[in-house]
Structure 1
Amino acid sequence: MNNLRSASLLFSAIAVMSVPIALADALPPAIQAVESRGAEVVGSFEAPGGLTGYAARYNGQGIGLYLTPDGEHVLIGTLLDASGEDLTQAPLEKLVYEPLGKEMWQRLEGSTLITDGSADARRIVYVFSDPNCPFCNVFWKQARPWVEAGDVQLRHVMVGMLRPDSAGKSAALLAAEDPEAALNAHEAAGKASKLEPIETISPKVLEELEANLMLMGEMGASATPAIYYLDDEGRLQQQQGAPRPDSLKAIMGPLSTDQ
């Protein structure tokens, strides 16, 4: 992590037990010092060797903090046992990544988007899309078998970032009488698309597009398509760019027409 040193310790056992952190001033000064660098402590857990473990978020990632028995020092990084097993990942998964994934999924649900496919689809896949993005077009084409079979609903979170007219084109799609049909016609046409950008975007739509772009950055994506889905264990997963065939199957799940 930037500005934070990582360390590895060798111990033999750890128990994952969430202890909510109610107030910042309840934290030991050494832990507060890490928070002053930008980390957010979200819970604590039992650790071996007299250490007290804390789980924190930093730049969208989870980090493990280990307070020494004297309460005056904190070690930051991954805790390993004598066999080399990672003892930090389980607490971070429970205290950081699971809640963060649910939070991000809820924010995706509340974004300004265009749905593509059946509302009864067994799987939902979110994708940050720019109308001028050729790789978004590749992914749209890749997804057709699953969407047309009713297995997957794509939810295009529209942004305008690639070209000066990208925002205007996203606004035009959102303002269409049938946004789903307009988006599909645009993607099906590819380079021959006749989609015209809106020259003057309403303040409301402009605010929505800016909020989508901000959400995209907060979710760790810097280019389109940025794809988000829940895996078979319900964990939020990300794919940056048009996926390769093996990754595509993981994103979309089984195709009912193949069964």
Structure 2
Amino acid sequence: MRLPNALFSVSLAALIATPTAMAGALPAPLQALTEQGLEIHGEFEAPAGLTGYAASHQGREMTVYLTAAGNHAIVGTMIDAEGNDLSEAPLDELVRAPQEGEVWQQLEESHWIQDGQADAPRVLYTFTDPNCPYCRQFWEQARPWVDAGEVQLRHIMVGILQQNSPAKAASLLGADDPEAALHDHSDGGDITPSAQPRDIEDQVYRNNQLFDELGLYATPTTVYRHDGRLQRVDGMPEEARLLEMMGGEAP
């Protein structure tokens, strides 16, 4: 499933509280819009003496254009004489890119098991449930790139599929060598849930929360960067998408 450039547009609104830009110093029409719940993310130059603002409301992105006198605002999309949408670039720069950066940081700060070399030039985050057969298949698919040192998978361990999934995920995160334990499990071995310290169990809980907050619904779900933007794949990728995710043909 390929999402638009705004990776998790609706769920981002819940996950990221973006402060209204220039609060208290906005022209009256914009101030009125912010009081109705609109968030202003930044200002940009617009044609015809207008001033543009990149904004969002409940996960929906939009542009607002302020007239030269500052007394009126127009909410909508601006099109030039050739039919080009002049709103997309400002929304990319001022709304989507910062929000995607926040999502990437959330993934970095989650609780994951490294799979591959630490200095691999390409990093992918994948939500993995120990009881998910497709997660094992994806692990196997990625072996050529991971083993060659080209890709590092970061398995964000969640427990959502079966009653013992959280305990299994905690056992993997709490193993003496989590990467080796995940390797053995993904290679066909079973894992016996065992009691873990409270902080390890909490790591699984927080990963589950992140899974829900991002509006995800399948494992594996993998997030990666392509052409500077975040992309997401739900479930097993098709071959062409796998090559994009891994950055090229198998070594």
TM-score bin (small chain): 0.7 to 0.9
Unpaired runs of 5+ residues, structure 1, are 3-19
The within-5 A match list for 1:17-166 is 22-36=21-35, 38-60=37-59, 62-68=61-67, 71=70, 74-166=73-165
| Worse-matched range after superposition: 34-43 or 148-157 | 34-43
Task: Give the deviation of 1:253 after TM superposition.
Answer: 0.7
Which letter maps to 2:209?
Answer: M
Answer yes or no: is 1:222 the counterpart of 2:217. Answer: yes
Task: Give the deviation of 1:225 after TM superposition.
Answer: 1.6
Task: Give the deviation of 1:235 after TM superposition.
Answer: 2.3
Name the CA distance, whole Å, in 2 between partners of 1:72 and 1:210: 49
> For residues 33-65 of structure 1, what are the alpha-carbon distances to aligned partners after superposition, in whole Å with 9 as ceiling and x for unaligned?
444454432111122244332112445564323
Which letter maps to 2:235?
Answer: G
Task: Give the deviation of 1:32 after TM superposition.
Answer: 3.9
Task: Give the deviation of 1:227 after TM superposition.
Answer: 1.0
Give the corresponding residue for 2:190.
194
TM-score w.r.t. the length of structure 1 is 0.79
Task: Give the deviation of 1:68 after TM superposition.
Answer: 4.6
Which letter maps to 1:229?
Answer: Y
The partner residue of 2:232 within 238, 247, 256 is 238
Name the CA distance, whole Å, in 2 between partners of 1:167 and 1:39: 38
Q: In structure 2, the residue corresponding to 1:221 is in which secondary structure?
A: coil
Task: Give the deviation of 1:71 after TM superposition.
Answer: 4.5
Task: Give the deviation of 1:77 after TM superposition.
Answer: 3.9
Task: Give the deviation of 1:217 after TM superposition.
Answer: 3.5
Which letter maps to 1:46?
Answer: E
Unpaired runs of 5+ residues, structure 2, are 1-8, 11-18
Q: 1:91 to 1:117 in 2, by over 3 A?
A: same
Name the CA distance, whole Å, in 2 between partners of 1:43 and 1:31: 12
Q: 1:256 to 1:222 in 2, by over 3 A?
A: closer
Number of equivalenced pairs: 235
Moved over 6 A (4+): none
Contact 1:124-1:155 at 8 Å conserved across structures: yes
Q: 1:47 to 1:249 in 2, by over 3 A?
A: same
Which letter maps to 2:243?
Answer: K
Name the CA distance, whole Å, in 2 between partners of 1:158 and 1:37: 39
Q: 1:201 to 1:28 in 2, by over 3 A?
A: farther
> For residues 184-223 of structure 1, what are the alpha-carbon distances to aligned partners after superposition, in whole Å with 9 as ceiling and x for unaligned?
111111xxx421223x554312322222223334444232
Give the corresponding residue for 1:250.
244
Contact 1:60-1:219 at 8 Å conserved across structures: no
Q: 1:203 to 1:150 in 2, by over 3 A?
A: same
Contact 1:60-1:220 at 8 Å conserved across structures: no
* Bigger RCO (CA 8 Å, 6+ sep): 2
Contact 2:20-2:39 at 8 Å conserved across structures: no
Task: Give the deviation of 1:114 after TM superposition.
Answer: 0.1
Q: In structure 2, the residue corresponding to 1:194 is in which secondary structure?
A: coil
Identical amino acids, percent of aligned pairs? 48
Q: In structure 2, the residue corresponding to 1:147 is in which secondary structure?
A: helix
Q: In structure 2, the residue corresponding to 1:24 is in which secondary structure?
A: coil
Q: 1:21 to 1:34 in 2, by over 3 A?
A: closer
Name the CA distance, whole Å, in 2 between partners of 1:49 and 1:121: 48
More strand by share: 1
Which letter maps to 1:197?
Answer: P
Task: Give the deviation of 1:183 after TM superposition.
Answer: 0.9
Q: In structure 2, the residue corresponding to 1:81 is in which secondary structure?
A: coil
